Chains A and B, each alone.
Chain A
Amino acid sequence: MGRFVARRLLQMIPVFIGTTLLIFLMVYSLPGDPIKSLFGPKAADPATVARLRHEYGLDKPLLEQYWNYISGLFQGDFGQSFTGRPVADLMSEAFPVTIRLALLAFGFEVIVGIALGVLTGMRRGKFLDQFVLVLTLIVISIPVFVIGYVTQFLLGLKWKVITPTVQDSENLGQLMIPAIVLAALSLAYVIRLTRTTVGENLRADYIRTAVAKGLPRKRVVGVHLMRNSLIPVVTFLGTDLGLLMGGAIVTEGIFNIQGVGFTLFKAIQTSEGPTVVGIVTVLVLVYLLTSLLVDLLYAVLDPRIRYA
């Protein structure tokens, strides 16, 4: 177990270097000159451009720039955005907001998704099952931004139940609706995934054995059935947490939440290398950590899986 974790942690180093280098190269190859575009439609004055280039180290060869960036990173310095603000500041503003939103959405997915999945899986063909199936089908087939705009229009503008945009990103109540919108699609998948595996396992031999042994129903469902059924769901949820953090651009835009997605989007638009690489690096780390966590959870759920 310990060796497994250590090996996985060591694997992160090449992944980390590879991704940062790749992203660095990609941002660098974006068309347009980030410094000149600071001047807007006006002609950039060459003396100032040259000095700004020098300040951000853009006048050096690409690999040297990358080296400077990485060595800065190991000293805890994420570099500077072209507006003169430290990238670390930008990230410390955006990440808490997104983490709150993502965790809310994630919690919603886990609790509602698994609960509904187990319920429908155990009552296949009944009314609740049919109803939830249709509902999830609708959610899956409608793009997220439609769900977002419709919710905003109905709840915020027409019925005035919520404020149309989030006024205060620390207010969990206001984040609730955006979180539900953000979670909607994955929620539908979680329900369907859970439903299928629960349905399958219900007919498995070991469950029949457990029932035949006269175990109480609570124990059969709660321990025997759930543990085995959750393995694919946990895999899905693990990758989804990363997705919720980086991919919330649409929801963040609709509800004006100043999170990671939009910061990243704007940084790409303005070719702000340090900001893009910084944010993506953190996102990559989140992915790596969650997938490690998922792998470790397997062992808890299925004792047959052991790590050497």
Chain B
Amino acid sequence: MEPQNPIIPSNTNEVGGGYIVKNLFRGLVDFDEKSKLRLVAAESIDTADNQTFKVKLKPGWKFHNGEDQTAASFVDAWNWAANAKNKQLNASWFEPIKGYDEVHPAEGDPKAEKMEGLKVTSDLEFTIELKKPVSTFKEQLFYDVFSPLPKAFYKDTKAFGEHPIGNGPYQQDGDWQHKVEFKTKKFADYKGDDKPKNGGVVFKFYNKDDAAYNDLVSDKLDIMYQVPNSMAGQYQNDLGKRAISQMFGGNTNISFPLYEAEWNKPEKVKVRQGLSMAIDRETIAKTALKGSKDAADGYTPKVVEGYQGGACGEFCKFDPAKAKELIKAGGGVPGNKVTLTYNADGANKEWADAVCNDIRQNGGVECVTDPKPTFQQARADITERRMKSAFRMAWVQDFPNIQNFISAQYRTKAGANDMEFSDKAIDELMDKADASKTIEESNKLYAEAEKKIIQEHMPSIPLFFDHTLAGYSKKVQNVKFDSFRQAIWTDVEVKK
């Protein structure tokens, strides 16, 4: 798909652009195939308290234009992206850093140009100071928005968006042919460990994934990261061993508007749990979804660091008798009817119909679906809090850690907390997790929070963990995908 925005790491937030950014840029850290954190451009990132971080860069790295990568390449880029004047879509990622509120006030012009928490200490070293400890900050640093930028960027940011210059394994080759393709070639001076085993990647843009799929089958396209859902039952036949189906860091849930007084009553927890038990996830995943999703046992997908399993416990087990009992004990569904809102432009109809059907048959509750034509319309209704009943809520990881799945959606007033779920004890538990010394401890506390949310509140019903359904042509080999649905491009080999 064509990137929506010019290629600037801090302004790219959708899949199409993300793919290109990921190949042109390398940040301080990233995740390997197994979702383990590893150092990339950084030689070390040390911290004693998860509040002050000392970053040391590997020497000798260069940008595609030959410029040296220094501590300033990072610090200046972050200060620029965080500045409210520059209107970057991803600016809020810098929010934990001390001094963010001065460069990005909620209203009015920025009072400072630089964030107080960022200090360059030498050519290759800088320190980051946060407002308060965040145990997963090192994980967060992987995100594209923390990429370094060369000095050439500040001269003409508009031109840079068309001709990005990064520090990654690939560099742009020729002009960006809008709507057609974006060509890259191997960057000879790349200093990272993952040197490309191919000459370059050409990103082709398609209007419809059906068209791309046909090209894939006839070897005109080499790698497709998401085959059309309509092909889910068939693509393994078409591609044989070249078909890939693996879980990635994304989930699908249905949520409830807790801002509606009726749904916010304490006894409605039971109703939601009852509805959850009325859904036969396993069967839906296998039949209606043809294996393109897995039944969920919590909010955090299995491939994500910190996943403990069984967060949902018995409430995600299919049990019609218990379901009816719980719904009855909770005084029934408000309005005696569940309406399930989703956006029809994504591949949601299949599961939404099946889930609603289960609720009707096994829960004994009337259920209708309410498809909105576009994602945009559905989002507008959700963010303006116009929901009266259940709605689709999905999450794709920003980084593969349990924190991202819990904190972003279930903390009081969190950005993606579309339910307006709020519980003091759980907020405190999350704060405690953020302040913990090690990532293991933080993961444990977050898992505890997840369990508590589901078993005591169930603001949203966990449904499915999503799969990458990908494929590749006969011309390439060694194609693997990570938990971001990204192919590991540098490992792909072109057959001779």
Contact = CB atoms under 8 A, between A and B. Distances in A.
Contacts of A93: 178-179
Contacts, number: 126
A40 B207 CA distance: 19
Given A41-B394, A52-B87, A157 B379 contact: no
B361 interface: no
A156 B218 contact: yes
A269 B4 CA distance: 13
A84 B161 contact: yes
Contacts of A157: 214, 217-218
A63 B6 CA distance: 30
Nearest to B395: A41
Contacts of A271: 376
Interface in A215-274: 252-256, 258, 262-263, 269-271
B394 A164 contact: no
B38 to A, nearest CB: 26
Nearest to A262: B207
B210 interface: yes
B477 interface: no
Contact of B220 (A50, A163, A169): A163
Nearest to B414: A43
A41 B92 CA distance: 14
Contacts of A44: 383
B220 A40 contact: no
B377 A31 contact: yes
Contacts of A206: none
Given A254-B208, A258-B180, A269-B374, A165 B220 contact: yes
Contact of A31 (B211, B220, B380, B396): B380
Interface in B366-392: 374-377, 379-381, 383
B394 A254 contact: no
* Residue in A50, A83, A164 whose Cβ sees the most chain B Cβ within 10 Å: A164
B215 A83 contact: no
A255 B211 contact: yes
A51 B11 CA distance: 14
B107 interface: yes
Contacts of A205: none
Interface in B171-226: 178-180, 205-208, 210-212, 214-215, 217-218, 220
B13 interface: yes
A99 to B, nearest CB: 16
B84 interface: yes
Contacts of A84: 5-6, 158, 161
Interface residues of A, number: 48
* Residue in A32, A84, A169, A262 whose Cβ sees the most chain B Cβ within 10 Å: A32
A48 interface: yes
A44 B91 CA distance: 10
Contact of B87 (A48, A90, A262): A48
A83 B6 contact: yes
B85 interface: yes
A209 interface: no
Interface string A39-76: 11111111110111001000000000000000000000
A48 B344 CA distance: 28
Given A165-B220, A270-B376, A252 B207 contact: yes
Contacts of B283: none
A38 B5 CA distance: 9
Given A165-B215, A253-B211, A32 B91 contact: no
A130 interface: no
Nearest to B6: A84
B222 to A, nearest CB: 13
Contacts of A43: 92, 383, 414-416
A28 B282 CA distance: 43
Given A41-B394, A47-B104, A256 B208 contact: yes
A36 interface: yes
Contacts of B218: 156-157, 160, 163-164
Nearest to A254: B211
Given A32-B377, A83-B4, A256-B212, A40 B14 contact: yes
Contacts of B303: none
A44 B178 CA distance: 27
Task: Name the 6 nearest CB pairs between A and B, nearest first.
Answer: A43-B415, A32-B376, A164-B214, A258-B179, A256-B211, A32-B380
Interface of A: 31-34, 36-48, 50-52, 55, 83-85, 89-90, 93-94, 152, 156-157, 160, 163-165, 167, 169, 252-256, 258, 262-263, 269-271
5 contacts: A33-B380, A36-B380, A47-B105, A84-B5, A269-B345
Given A45-B92, A48-B87, 14 more contacts: A34-B376, A37-B375, A37-B379, A41-B395, A42-B92, A45-B104, A83-B5, A84-B158, A157-B218, A164-B211, A164-B220, A165-B220, A258-B180, A271-B376
